[in-house]
Amino acid sequence: MEDESYQVPHDIENPHSPLLTSMRSMLYNLSPLSSSCCICRVPKRLRRVSEMAYTPQVVSIGPLHHGKEGLKPMEEHKNRYLQDFLVRTNLSLEHYINKIRGREAELRGCYAETIQFDSDEFVRIVLVDTAFIIEVLLRFHFHELQDENDRIFKKPRMFEDVWPDMRMLENQLPFFILQDLFDPKRIQIPFVENLSIINLSYTFFRALMNIEELEDTLETIISSTIEHFVDFVRKLYPPPPLKVARARGQPKSPTGASMRQLSTFEVPQGRGQPEIPTTPSMTELYRAGVKFKVGSGKNMFDIRFKDGTLQIPKITISDQSEVNLTNLLVFEQSQCKETENYINDYVGILNILVNTPEDVSLLVKNAIFVNKLGDSKKGCTMIKNMGDGVNIADYSKFHFAPLCEKLNEHCTKSRHKWLALLRQNYFNTPCKTISVIAAACIILFTLIQTVSSIISVHSRSH
């Protein structure tokens, strides 16, 4: 009988076999995982929804998009900015090359994937892009530094196309290299104090993103904790107020529910089948008598429902706000604790409140939304697209869970709907109000007259 036991091929036993050699080499050359990793690719599941929100259109920053055909024309402008940076700081090219090469391993470790560029090319990319960013920040802050032939800020002006690319997660440099190369003592600008890369970045993003004055928040940011621009912008937003503790038996959503599913979530009810209540949209809230008001304060997460009024801080929806929120959302999901996913939860509650263009119209009518997309349908599409990127793994950690519970409770009471129906259909204009009152008076008088006639007849019969 033939021996059917497995026979090890001779070439694998051979310590010099090509396969063994290549696999040993592959394992030996694996890059060590770095704890400083903070820049990653956006997952394909999100790119399919909005490719433009994650892909630079004009300028590459860092190695992930370097060399792409559509971004090559900007390379000459970046080199000119490097040249101006060297003149401005009066330091040699060799000085900066050595400075970056000394931190090359740390820089490479900030990217989630292995960078294929060799050492010289990688250092060149980082130096050119770092100098470019510093020059952009300086020229934005100090207009006198803008040359009349400046292609970014003058003519042909390209700044409106450049700065959105600087907010994309895949298009980042680690913040520490900007700090390393920026020396305020070398920047000859008279009558300027406390010049720093973090202050320049704050001025830049606050102005362009219409962020409220957040100096108080800025003072709490420790520069050594900033990963890159996306992280810095996120840190500029104050964390949301502490949420109220949930009531006993509060419903939880299925684990890992997407925002497409979050308009309904299962509520365990003993041994029976789970009940599926709805989370009301803006239109449903309106029909249930909820009033809407622009929230006060600078904290965009401070959404409140009290005494039948839903308060939401004002928000501008545009292509730029989509780029900002989606990249912040992806960064949170890849880098932050689940309990700190403020942007994720904020986009989540917007997605719950907005299901149709009519919901957007209500928000615009009540001055909560400033819609720069042109119409309510586009605004609704943008919010639903962003909602596809939201991940609520545990509903108990969803920051706006108590808010949803209050809204659900309000909408389950029939009296709110009846009062809203009367107010919206019969008392929404002075003319209708007068007509309703007149009709009620006629009915009342008719009823009184009828009763009086009956009493009169009854009295005569006796």
315-317 and 369-371: which strand pairing? parallel
Q: Is 156 helix (H, G, I), strand (E, B) or coil?
A: coil
Instruction: For residues 133 and 204, give the distance between their C-alpha atoms in angstroms, rounded to a whole number.
Output: 11
Instruction: Tell me the per-residue pLDDT of 155-205, one tens digit each, with 9 for 90 and over.
Output: 889 999 999 999 999 999 999 999 999 998 888 776 667 789 999 999 999
Contact between 151 and 158 (Cβ < 8 Å): yes
Contact between 238 and 214 (Cβ < 8 Å): yes
**Helix intervals (H) in 142-186:** 159-165, 175-181
198-224: average pLDDT: 85
> pTM (2 decimals)?
0.80
pLDDT value of position 393? 76
Contact between 266 and 251 (Cβ < 8 Å): yes
Q: 370 - beta bridge partners?
A: 316
Question: Closest by alpha carbon to 74, among 138, 159, 142, 144?
Answer: 159
Percent of the chain with pLDDT over 70: 80
Question: Closest by alpha carbon to 45, among 453, 390, 398?
Answer: 390
Looking at the predicted structure, is the pLDDT value of residue 260 above 50? no
Instruction: For residues 181 and 95, give the distance between their C-alpha atoms in angstroms, rounded to a whole number.
Output: 10
The two tokens of residue 223 are 């520069």
Sign of CA dihedral 333, 336, 339, 343: negative
Contact between 49 and 389 (Cβ < 8 Å): yes
